[in-house]
Amino acid sequence: MTGPLILVVDDEEQIRKLLEITLHTSDFSVKAAATAKEAIIMAKTNNPDLILLDIGLPDESGQEVLKKLRQWYTKPIIILSVQSDEENIIKALDNGANDYLVKPFRTGELLARIRSSIRGIIPQSLNTHVFNHELEIDYNLRAVKKNKEIVKLTATEYDLLVLFAKNEGRVLTHQYLLREVWGPGYVNQSQYLRVFIAQLRKKIETEPNQPEYILTESRVGYRFVAKDNF
Amino acid sequence: MSKTNEVDNLPFQKFSPKKQYIVSVLSILLVASGCYFLSDLVGYRVVAFILLVTVSLIAMFFDIMPVLVAAILSALVWDFFFIPQKFTFAISSAEDLLMFLMYFVVALVNAVLTTKIRKIEKLANQKEEKENTLKLYNTLLNSLSHELRTPISTIIGATDNLQSMADKLSELNKYELISEISKASLQLDRQVGNLLNMSRLESGYIKPKNDWFDVNELIYDVLNQLKDELKNIPVHVAVKENLPLFKLDYGLVSQIVHNLVHNACTNIPKYAVITVRASCKQDKLVIVVEDTGHGFPEDEMEKVFEKFYRLKNSKTGGTGLGLSIVKGFVESMNGTVDLKNMPEGGAIFTIEIPSELSYINLNVKV
């Protein structure tokens, strides 16, 4: 067991057990904590490669734990939340969580999120970026090609795509996207985001209604995913 | 549920106390002045009866205090304007004095008795309401214990088998048991979700959080959530071109579409097709979910939106909550839901929800 170390923080023993077995089987090393206090100590002593953090802990709010961890811990944190708790999810993402999973989650989804988070964010110094062997972004020329054909994007569409590409695999909240692409004064202008997402999908997706790249995260935001990238 | 038992059946009960006093006094004065012109024809004793009838009518609708005021006022008016020695309170004959006193007593008793009867009626209504609530809870418990216990029994039974008879089971048996566990747990998850939504509705906790969304994106998002259930069912999506964005609660609208599509896919026969349409009518979002199944029995169409109602010949697996959640959510956004059978068979649900609209011109640089 020399795979990446994952710290599981959840107050329910059933969930800890389930996650330990699941992660062990997929060649991860696992440590588990049941309380916020334990979580902080174990994160400091073990320096895990990723933390799975339940947002509803008994002794302290998961949001607080998240803030404390983020003062020094820079590796990925994925939060576990219960259904219909979008506000908490958005808050956690704002507090520095990389991703979230809603209980009950499927094992395939869990492993995919963990792998994508550990793989990390692509270095920003690259000049070009190719996703799924077909979608190419040339950062120097500010040009985008799909299957070798130039895709004409407006400046805003291009900025949006680049932000997505540089955060591949990561969920970006509506507010974050609006702030980064349009500016702090636009965080409530969600209509722009909706229209530009639809427009961008028409240009880069093979099937705009069943997108492969820009996925909708209901009520939270969007996630850009690619099976392969170089 | 709580709304109906507080409202008295009588519409005038909603009058504020102040209005009740004003209306009582005015009606006595109006009737009295009418009688004044008739008093030559009918005699002053008949006027007493007319006034009594007026007090009785007021007592049927108003609270006790305004009625008492009307009773006393009418007695005084009768005395002053009608009993001989008009325009004085003085009563000359012993007969008239007796009449006046009796009038006074009858008017008061009348007022008190009528209000009492109304109170008793109200209590009876409340009792009936309570019994209905109890009935509803019993239905809930029955439905719940059945719909939750079925998947739980499956899980317990299947895991017992896997634990104690692992060496006797073939690989195929094991695979089958595991997939039953998986199905049962997803079913449990859905039931719990339904119950949570229902209790949100019941507690009046739902406050729509409106934000702009693209209805095309919403529909495909919902279909994506239901992709396992829709594996063998073709779904057509027909969204009008150039629809505006709508400003509504994304979660509520997607739950509505989710429940309608899920309802269709669990109830239609093989080879049937589901179509989801979206359009904009004036300032309303219109979403239509239709299927080419058998439709609903005409005599049950009214009831399908009721809590825990399940079609008489329906398969197991539903809580009878999905469509009532649809109705509750639609109404929480001031919208309407309509169900019809299509002439060629199949059901068609139409949702209309009033919304703000936004047409953004993409040629304008933002």
Q: Tens digit of pLDDT for each residue in B104-127?
A: 788 788 878 887 888 888 899 988
Q: Is the pLDDT of residue B188 over 50?
A: yes
Q: Do A84 and B250 touch (CB under 8 A)?
A: no
Q: Which of A70, A102, A119 is the last residue of a domain?
A: A119
- Residues of chain B with C-beta less than 8 angstroms from the C-beta of A194: 212-214, 217, 245
Q: Is the pLDDT of residue B315 over 70?
A: no
Min distance A154 CA to chain B CA atoms (Å):
9
Q: Do B196 and A83 touch (CB under 8 A)?
A: yes
- pLDDT above 70 coverage of chain B, percent: 92
Residue A10 belongs to a domain: yes
DSSP state, residue A186: G
Residue A39 belongs to a domain: yes
Please indicate, yes or no, whether residues A80 and A113 belong to a single structural domain of this protein.
yes
Please indicate, yes or no, whether residues A105 and A9 belong to a single structural domain of this protein.
yes
Question: What is the pLDDT, as a whole number, of residue A84?
Answer: 67
Which of the four pLDDT bands, split at 50, 70 and 90, describes residue A150? very high
Q: Which of A82, A191, A199, A202 to mutate to test the interface with B (most CBs of B within 10 A)?
A: A191
Please indicate, yes or no, whether residues A44 and A82 belong to a single structural domain of this protein.
yes
Q: What are phi and psi of A145, to 5 degrees?
A: -125, 140
CATH code: domain B211-358 is 3.30.565.10
Among the partner residues B225, B237, B366, nearest to A156 by beta-carbon distance: B366
Min distance B211 CA to chain A CA atoms (Å):
7
Please indicate, yes or no, whether residues A176 and A112 belong to a single structural domain of this protein.
no
Which of the four pLDDT bands, split at 50, 70 and 90, describes residue B313? low
CATH number at residue A104: 3.40.50.2300
**Which residues touch B78 (CB under 8 Å, ≥6 apart)?**
B32, B44, B47, B48, B51, B100, B103
Min distance A198 CA to chain B CA atoms (Å):
8
Q: Which of A60, A86, A119 is the last residue of a domain?
A: A119
Query: Which domain does A93 fall in, by range?
Result: 5-119
Q: Which of A95, A119, A143 is the last residue of a domain?
A: A119
- Assess A182–B contact: CB distance below 8 Å, yes or no: yes
Q: How far is CA B56 from CA B49, B62, B109, B341, in A?
A: 10, 10, 10, 51
Domain boundaries, given as residue ranges, for chain B: 1-204, 211-358
Question: What is the pLDDT, as a whole number, of residue B93?
Answer: 80
Among the partner residues A84, A191, A216, nearest to B245 by beta-carbon distance: A191
Which of the four pLDDT bands, split at 50, 70 and 90, describes residue B80? confident
Q: Is the pLDDT of residue B317 over 60?
A: no
Q: Is the pLDDT of residue A125 over 90?
A: no
Neighbours of A227 (CB within 10 A): 8
Question: What is the pLDDT, as a whole number, of residue A175?
Answer: 92
- Residues of chain B with C-beta less than 8 angstroms from the C-beta of A209: 216, 220, 237
Residue A229 belongs to a domain: no
Long-range contacts of B114-117 (CB under 8 A, 24+ apart): B114/B56, B114/B59, B114/B60, B114/B67, B115/B59, B115/B63, B115/B64, B115/B67
Query: pLDDT digit string (tens) for A178-198?
Result: 999 999 999 888 999 999 999
Please state the domain count of chain A. Answer: 2
Q: Do B221 and A216 touch (CB under 8 A)?
A: yes
Min distance B324 CA to chain A CA atoms (Å):
19
Complete DSSP assignment for B172-217? HHHHHHHHHHHHHHHHHHHHHHHHHHHHHHHTT------EEE-HHH
Please indicate, yes or no, whether residues A136 and A113 belong to a single structural domain of this protein.
no
ipTM of the complex model: 0.84
CA separation for the pair B311, B318 (Å, rounded):
10
Q: Is the pLDDT of residue B3 over 60?
A: no
Query: pLDDT digit string (tens) for A60-114?
Result: 888 999 999 999 999 999 999 886 678 889 999 999 999 999 988 889 989 989 9
Among B294, B292, B289, smallest CA distance to B339 is for B289
CA separation for the pair B124, B134 (Å, rounded):
15
Give CA B197 to chain center in angstroms: 16
The whole-chain average pLDDT of chain B stands at 84
Please indicate, yes or no, whether residues A36 and A94 belong to a single structural domain of this protein.
yes
Residue A184 belongs to a domain: yes
Q: Do B362 and A191 touch (CB under 8 A)?
A: no
Min distance B2 CA to chain A CA atoms (Å):
27
Please indicate, yes or no, whether residues A86 and A192 belong to a single structural domain of this protein.
no
